[in-house]
């Protein structure tokens, strides 16, 4: 296996400096010698054999178990060297055959009926909420941020994401909004407080997220108009002016794409608008990463745009806008990984060393995938009527800036509430008028 492993690495690693130490103590170097050295050691022949025969699953497992050790650099540094110049042809014959089998059986893997969906969500989202507080922004946004400037902080980028999604949603004062996969409630609260929706209903399958979301709505004084319920999307009844879904469609699975969009059409009013924000594949349908499926998101599967659009069309809706956010999630994951590693000791206090290695590998391999493996985020807007949205995309930028202005006004109001009163001779500043919306 040593010879096969070194042959594969020599095909994958074209740039950089990688040193491999085998179980027998032999050292091999790969790359062109540029940059900082990354040094990785296999501690036993079983680890070596497993990674050769099933790299997508076993590399992560061996790292979690401490049988593959990165002695210099990080596991992310190693993944960069391996993936940035790799092609499908570089994979070993066993890995290619295994990949073909996984693709043919992917519908079986993601058979996300109601019972499985609830169990799969609990596996990841019902972890101790203190874990997520180690690396998420204060609003607990656990999806791709929107870096409108290179120097954006994570907090600014996550606020910009909520702003962009809400702008595309075309929320009106009388809008009744359904948030499918509402998480910890941040987007639903933003749509109410900044977007001005009359009512927001958020649905989730996570009991941990539900409790926090409801508490946030109560604290904000909007629990009567922002409701969060434990419910599967297939169980929702009613009629909504707007439907939004961020980071949920990845958990639907190809077998249920038609079910999902048919339900959305049923719930959406004839003049309604839907916005879906989902991770997806830019190079066509493929199978879910087996390590991610086993340890992180069981039943999850990334859709290709060529799967999303036909399913929308079959449901009798039309696509009114598509945007591809390419490196935004890579930057989001970079921020999460740095924050998690900076507070790794706190994660250890909650779980154990193996869990921390698992979480480090999860954040590292996902970031590498977004940088080097044609994974991106799609924002797809659709409607039942071609007249539901304006004729040009200028309304998105206009509403985006209006929302930014409302945020600034809200922040100024909050400061005035806690600041001492101004002297009588100091005139108060006039509020900034909102831009008139064009529809």
Model confidence pLDDT, tens digit, residues 14-25: 999 999 999 999
Same domain, 266 and 336: yes
pLDDT value of position 423: 53
Residue 63 above 60 pLDDT? Answer: yes
Are the CB atoms for 21 and 39 separated by under 8 Å? yes
Residue finishing a domain among 383, 402, 423 = 383
Task: With respect to residue 345, please indicate whether it lies within any of the assigned structural domains.
Answer: yes
Asked whether residue 411 is assigned to any structural domain, the reply reads no
Percent of the chain with pLDDT over 70: 92
Instruction: State whether 141 and 252 are in the same domain.
Output: yes
Residue 376 clears pLDDT 60, i.e. is over it: yes
99 confidence band (pLDDT: 50, 70, 90): confident
Could you list the residue range(s) of the whole structural domain that residue 252 is in?
116-383
Same domain, 142 and 36: no
Is the domain of 159 the same as that of 288? yes
Q: What is the 3-state secondary structure (H, E, C) of 70-92?
A: EEECCHHHHHHHHHCCCCHHHCC
Question: Does residue 108 surpass a pLDDT of 90?
Answer: no
Residues 175 and 37 in one domain: no
pLDDT digits (tens, 9 = 90+) for 386-431: 999 999 999 999 999 999 999 999 999 888 887 765 555 544 444 4
Instruction: Tell whether 254 and 341 lie within a shared domain.
Output: yes
Q: What is the pLDDT of residue 436?
A: 44
Mean pLDDT of 28-52: 96
Say whether both 261 and 146 belong to one domain: yes
- For residue 357, tell me if it sits in a domain: yes
What's the whole-model pTM score?
Answer: 0.92
pLDDT for residue 88: 56
pLDDT at 94 exceeding the cut of 90: no
Q: Is the pLDDT of residue 316 over 90?
A: yes
| Mean of pLDDT values over 304-326 | 98
Residues designated as active site: 366
Number of structural domains found in the chain: 2
Residue 365 lies in a domain: yes
The answer to whether 132 touches 212, Cβ cutoff 8 Å, is no
Among candidate residues 78, 104, 130, the one where a domain is terminated: 104
Instruction: Judge whether 391 lies within some domain.
Output: no
Percentage of the chain modeled with pLDDT above 90: 84
Is 70's pLDDT higher than 70?
Answer: yes
- Strands in 68-72's sheet, in edge-to-edge order, are 27-30, 17-21, 37-42, 68-72
Interval 300-320 mean pLDDT? 97
With 0-12 / 13-18 / 19 or more C-beta atoms within 10 angstroms meaning exposed / middle / buried, residue 184 is: buried
CA-to-CA distance for 96 and 94, rounded, in angstroms? 5
Mean pLDDT of 137-147: 98
Average pLDDT, rounded, for the chain:
92
Is residue 90 domain-shared with residue 128, that is, in the same domain? no
Co-location of 81 and 141 in the same domain: no
pLDDT digits (tens, 9 = 90+) for 160-219: 999 999 999 999 999 999 999 999 999 999 999 999 999 999 999 999 999 999 999 999
What is the pLDDT, as a whole number, of residue 428?
A: 43
- CATH no. for residue 260? 3.40.50.150
Cα separation values, 396 from 156, 168, 174, 317, Å: 18, 6, 19, 21
């Amino acid at each position: 296996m040593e010879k096969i492993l070194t042959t594969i690495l020599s095909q994958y690693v074209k740039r950089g400096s990688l040193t491999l130490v085998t179980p027998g103590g032999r050292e091999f170097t790969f790359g062109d010698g540029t940059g900082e050295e990354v040094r990785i050691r296999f501690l036993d022949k079983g680890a070596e054999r497993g990674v050769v025969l099933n790299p997508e699953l076993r590399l992560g497992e061996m790292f979690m178990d401490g049988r593959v050790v990165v002695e210099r650099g990080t596991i992310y540094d190693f993944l960069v060297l391996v993936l940035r110049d790799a092609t499908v042809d570089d994979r070993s014959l066993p890995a290619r055959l295994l990949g073909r089998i996984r693709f043919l059986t992917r519908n079986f893997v993601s058979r996300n009926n109601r019972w499985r969906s609830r169990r799969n969500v609990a596996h990841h989202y019902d972890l101790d909420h203190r874990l997520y507080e180690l690396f998420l922004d204060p609003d607990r946004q656990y999806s791709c941020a929107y870096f409108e400037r290179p120097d954006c902080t994570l907090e600014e980028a996550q606020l910009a994401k909520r702003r962009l999604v809400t702008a595309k949603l075309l929320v009106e004062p009388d809008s009744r909004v359904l948030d499918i996969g509402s998480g910890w409630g941040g987007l639903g609260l933003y749509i109410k407080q900044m977007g001005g929706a009359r009512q927001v209903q958020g649905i989730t399958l996570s009991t941990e997220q539900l409790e926090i979301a409801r508490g946030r709505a109560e604290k904000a004084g909007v629990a009567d108009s922002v409701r969060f319920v434990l419910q599967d999307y297939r169980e929702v009844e009613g009629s909504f002016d707007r439907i939004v879904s961020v980071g949920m469609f990845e958990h639907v699975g190809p077998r249920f794409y038609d079910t999902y969009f048919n339900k959305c059409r049923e719930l959406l009013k004839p003049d309604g608008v839907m916005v879906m924000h989902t991770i997806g594949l830019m190079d066509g349908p493929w199978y879910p990463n087996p390590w991610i499926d086993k340890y992180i998101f069981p039943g999850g599967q990334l859709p290709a745009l060529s799967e999303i659009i036909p399913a929308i069309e079959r449901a009798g809706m039309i696509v009114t806008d598509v945007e591809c956010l390419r490196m935004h999630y890579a930057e989001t994951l970079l921020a999460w990984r740095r924050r998690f590693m900076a507070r790794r000791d706190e994660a250890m206090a909650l779980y154990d060393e193996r869990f921390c290695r698992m979480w480090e590998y999860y954040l590292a391999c996902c970031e590498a995938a977004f940088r080097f493996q044609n994974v991106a985020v799609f924002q797809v807007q659709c409607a039942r009527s071609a007249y539901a949205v304006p004729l040009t995309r200028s309304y998105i930028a206009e509403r985006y800036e209006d929302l930014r202005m409302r945020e600034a006004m809200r922040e100024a109001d909050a400061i005035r509430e806690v600041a001492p009163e101004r002297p009588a001779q100091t005139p108060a500043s006039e509020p900034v008028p909102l831009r008139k919306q064009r529809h």
